[in-house]
Amino acid sequence: MFDRLRPLAPYLKRYWPSLAWGSVSTILYNVIKVMIPLVIGHAIDDMQHGLTESKVMHHGLRLLGIAVLSAVFLYTTRQVTIGASREIEFDLRNDLFANLERQPASFYHTHRTGDIMARTTNDLSAVRQLLGPAIMYSANTIVFTVAALPFMYRISPRLTFIAFVPLPMASVIVQVFGNRIHRRFERIQAMFSDISAKAQENFAGARLIRAFAQEEAEIEKFEIANREYIGRSLHLVRLMAMLWPTLEFMLGISLMITLLVGGHEVVSHQISVGQFTSFNVYMVQLTFPMIAVGWVVNLFQRGTASIVRIDELLKQVPAIQDGPEAVASAGPVKGGIEFRGLTFAYGDGPDVLKDVDLTVPAGTSLAVVGPTGSGKSTLVGLIARLHDAKPGMVLIDDAPIREYPLATLREGIGFVPQETFLFSTTIHQNIAFGVPDATVEQVKVAAGIAHIRTEIEEFPKGFETMVGERGVTLSGGQKQRTSIARAVLRDPSILILDDALASVDTYTEEQILGGLRHVMQGRTTVLISHRISTARNADQIAVLDAGRVVELGTHDQLLAMNGPYAELFEKQRLEEELAVTR
C-alpha cells in the first residue's frame, strides 16, 4: 500500500513543518488524555481513605487543567493536520490542471471528459480524506494506545494482556474487510467515472439528442448505469455495515473480560477499586480509536485507489513538448513554411499525408482545397504542432519546426479551427483570448476585419454581451467570425483558417477576405476551403486528394490544367448559376 502512496511523497515533504507540528500536537494531546483515568482512579481510592473538601477540589482542578490542555492540543492537531491536507489538495489540483492543460488535443480524443472530471473531483477528495482525517485518526489511535499501555500494564499485566487479546483478531478482521472494501471501491470509482462521462456527453450533445428525439432512450441508458453504480455502492455499504458491529462486538468482549478478570483481582486485593476504575476508563477511551480503525482503513483504501487514478493523469507526459533540439533564442516566426517530403500518420494508423512537398514563402498565401478526409486539417495542424510530423519534414523560416520553443512558435500563429469554440464569458474576452492586454479599440478593429463588429454593437450590451451558457447563443457564422477576430487580434505572422468561412454566405466571405488581405499584407496566410471562391485569390492553391498534393499553382494555372480543380470550379459555377436562376 505504501508503494501506492509514493506519488504523495513530494507533497508531504513540502509541508513537513506542518506535519511535524501536527505530530507533536497529537503526541501532547494523547499524553495529556492518558492522565484522565489516573486522576479518576486516585479520586476513587481517596474516597475510601477519608475524602476531604480540599482533595475533591484538588482532583477537580487537575481534571479541569487536563480538559483545557487537551482541548488546546486537540484544536492544534485538527487545525494543522486538516489544514495541511487542504494545502496538499490545493497543490495537487493545481498540478493536475496544469498537466491536463499541457496535453495535446489528441489526449482529449482518447480520454473522456467525464472521467477526467471524476478524477479531479471525487478522487481528489478521497485523497484529501486520506491525508487529513485518516492520518489524524490513525496517529491518535497509535499514540494513545502506546501512551496508555504502560499505565494499564502497571495496574495489572495480566488484565492488560487478556483485555488486548481480542484486538489482534479485530485487526485481522479489519484487514480482510479492507481488501474487499478496496476492490469494491475501485469498481465504484470506475463506475462513477462512467456515469460522469455519460452525463457530460449528454449535456454537451443536448441539441443532437433533442433533434433525434433520444431523450427517453438516453434517460433509460443513464438509469441502467446509475442502477449499476448504486448496486455496487450498496455492496460496499453491506460490507461496511458488517465491519462496524463486528469491531464493536470484539470491544464488548474485551470489556466483559476486563470486568470478569479485573473484578476477581479487586476481590483478591491485587488491585484497588480506583485502579480497576482507571483501567476501565482506559478501555472506554480506547473504544472510539479502535472503532475508528475500521473507518480509517476504509479511508486509506479509498485514498490509495484514488491516488493511483490521479497519478495516472499526473504522469501523463504531454506528447508534444519542447525537446532538446528546441533553441531558446529561436524566433520570432517570420512566416516561411515548408513541407519537405512530408508523410504523416496518426499513431499506428494509415498514412494520412503522403510525400507532400510545399513551400510557402513568408508573406504569401496558400489555399488548400480537396475532398473531405483528404488531409487538409491534418496538414495545417502540423504548422502549429497540434500533432507532430517526423523531424525535418516541417520547416519554419528554413529551420526545423522543433527548433522553435512551442510558445514562440504558437505566438506567431493565429489559428481559426474548423470547430469554433467560445468560452462562457463576454464577446470582448473571447476575442481578446490570448492577448489579455488588448484595448477595447483593438478588439473592435479585429471584429471589424472579421466583419462582425456591427452585429456585436447591435446587441444591447455590445462587446460586453455574455456568450454561451450564461448569455446569447451566437449563430454558426457569428461564432466563426468571432473566432477569426480572435486570431487576427494576435497580430500573427502566420494566419491559418481551417474552413473558417464555411458558415458564412459568399458576400460576407468576400468582405472578410478583402479585410484580411489588407491586414495580412507581408504575412503568411494558409486557408482551407471547400469553396473555390475562397481559394481563387491565393498566391498558390494546393489540391489535396487522399493525402497527396495532386495539383499546385495559381487559380489560372490550375484552370488551364483542366484537372480536379477545374472540375470543382465548373461544378461550383453551375451550382451558383442554378441558385441565381431558381
Ligand X SMILES: Nc1ncnc2c1ncn2[C@@H]1O[C@H](COP(=O)(O)OP(=O)(O)OP(=O)(O)O)[C@@H](O)[C@H]1O
Positions touching ligand X (CB under 6 A) are 106, 109, 346, 349, 352, 370, 372-378, 418
**Cβ 499 to ligand X shortest distance, Å:** 6
Coil, strand or helix: which one is 197? helix
**Cβ 497 to ligand X shortest distance, Å:** 12
**Cβ 294 to ligand X shortest distance, Å:** 48
**Cβ 18 to ligand X shortest distance, Å:** 45
Give the list of residues 6+ apart from residue 391 with CB closer than 8 angstroms, or none.
325, 400, 402
Closer of 96 and 352 to ligand X (Cβ): 352
Closer of 307 and 382 to ligand X (Cβ): 382
Coil, strand or helix: which one is 475? coil
**Cβ 515 to ligand X shortest distance, Å:** 24
**Cβ 374 to ligand X shortest distance, Å:** 4
Coil, strand or helix: which one is 385? coil
Nearest to 367 by CA among 521, 529, 567: 529
Measure CA 58 to chain center: 58
Closer of 99 and 418 to ligand X (Cβ): 418
Direct distance between the N- and C-terminal alpha carbons of the chain, in angstroms, rounded to an integer: 74
**Cβ 308 to ligand X shortest distance, Å:** 28
Angle at 176 between CA 173 and CA 181, to 5 degrees: 115
Closer of 85 and 378 to ligand X (Cβ): 378
Burial profile 166-189: b = 16 or more Cβ within 10 angstroms, e = fewer: bbeebbebbeebbeebbebbbbbb
Closer of 231 and 373 to ligand X (Cβ): 373
Closer of 324 and 349 to ligand X (Cβ): 349
Nearest to 472 by CA among 484, 455, 488: 455
In which order are the strands placed within the sheet that holds 394-396?
351-360, 337-345, 394-396, 399-400
Burial profile 32-46: b = 16 or more Cβ within 10 angstroms, e = fewer: bbbbbbbbbbbbbbb
Closer of 250 and 353 to ligand X (Cβ): 353
Nearest to 496 by CA among 522, 532, 461, 520: 520
The rounded distance, in Å, linking the Cα atoms of 477 and 455 is 11
**Cβ 182 to ligand X shortest distance, Å:** 36
Q: What sign does the dihedral 563-565-570-574 (CA atoms) show?
A: positive
Closer of 97 and 108 to ligand X (Cβ): 108
